[in-house]
């Protein structure tokens, strides 16, 4: 089954404790992206990747890192989480390389709480 898998689904952590949210897709998609969803703000892009070893900032990259060492995986790293990063996070992927008209496939989300 074609899917985007995020882990964990729920995560509660404390300020400053490094964490990683994993994302994996089995559709051989070149394009992958991370979004955060906050009430009244819709989805905002954090980082995206056009292909292996190619990543770039989205609209709200501060406090986040990503890597794309393999085509299928695109982990989101919070080196020192803060309470304002409490949010619902989504990973998404699409193909072909120019993703302008290709629909995104989303994971089921990771709800992160930073205390």
Partner 1 sequence: AQSVTQLDSQVPVFEEAPVELRCNYSSSVSVYLFWYVQYPNQGLQLLLKYLSGSTLVKGINGFEAEFNKSQTSFHLRKPSVHISDTAEYFCAVSVILYNQGGKLIFGQGTELSVKP
Minimum CB distance to partner 1, residue 80 (Å): 27
User: What is the rounded distance in angstroms from the CA atom of residue 6 to the CA atom of residue 78?
Assistant: 15
User: What is the rounded distance in angstroms from the CA atom of residue 109 to the CA atom of residue 79?
Assistant: 20
Binding of partner 1 by 26 (CB under 8 A): no
Nearer of residues 28 and 80 to partner 1, judged by Cβ: 28
Output the CA torsion sign for 68, 74, 75, 78.
Answer: positive
Residues in contact with partner 1, counted by CB under 8 A, come to a total of 26
Binding of partner 1 by 112 (CB under 8 A): no
Binding of partner 1 by 53 (CB under 8 A): no
């Amino acid at each position: 089954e074609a899917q985007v898998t995020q882990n964990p689904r729920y995560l509660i952590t404390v300020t400053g404790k490094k964490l990683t949210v994993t994302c994996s897709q089995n559709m051989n998609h070149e394009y992958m992206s991370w979004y955060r969803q906050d009430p009244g703000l819709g989805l905002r892009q954090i980082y995206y990747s056009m292909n292996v070893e190619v990543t770039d900032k989205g609209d709200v990259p501060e406090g986040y890192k990503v890597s794309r060492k393999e085509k299928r995986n695109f982990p989101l790293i919070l080196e020192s989480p803060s309470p304002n990063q409490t949010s619902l996070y989504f990973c998404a992927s699409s193909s072909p390389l120019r993703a302008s008209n290709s629909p995104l496939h989303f994971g089921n989300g990771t709800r992160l709480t930073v205390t």
